[in-house]
Amino acid sequence: MQKKIAKNQFDFNDFISQVKQIKKMGNIKELASMIPGVGKSLKNLDIDDDAFKGLEAIIQSMTPEERENPAIINGSRRKRIASGSGTNIQEVNRLIKQFDETRRMMRMVQSGKNLARSMGGMPQFRKH
């Protein structure tokens, strides 16, 4: 996996494999609550155990070529993927964007760049 990340070859097949491993570990809320400082903030938050079903459906609706090379996913392919997964184009776009951000952060961690500085540019990690 590290070699794939270093060579920027992490693809949707790897992504779905990671999701399946997370699901095998158990309830997401219970897992996250084990992280120091996170447990209290999750107390009143409802995390659906089926949260990954939609993204799995989207990824499974991609062709093998699209899963291996996400850069080829254009507008018409996004429409077909959305139709095949029972979702809409916005959800497909959201998954692709999250995948790209995850891939970018994994490369930064691998290369040893300052992750905290780069996360400050992401809206969900800005100081309020």
Whole-number percent of the chain with pLDDT over 70: 59
The 8-class DSSP code of residue 124 comes to G
Domains plus CATH for the chain?
2-125 (1.10.260.30)
Please check the confidence at residue 125 and state whether its pLDDT lies above 80.
no
Weakest mean pLDDT among 23-37, 82-96, 101-115? 23-37
Nearest Cα to 21, choosing from 59, 52, 57? 52
Q: Pick left, alpha or beta for residue 124 (phi over 0 → left; psi -120 to 50 → alpha; otherwise beta).
A: alpha
pLDDT digits (tens, 9 = 90+) for 38-89: 656 655 665 666 767 888 999 999 999 999 999 999 999 999 999 999 999 9
Sequence-distant (≥ 6) Cβ neighbours of residue 93 within 8 angstroms: 78
Residue 127 has pLDDT above 50, yes or no: no
Please tell me the predicted confidence (pLDDT) of residue 24: 77
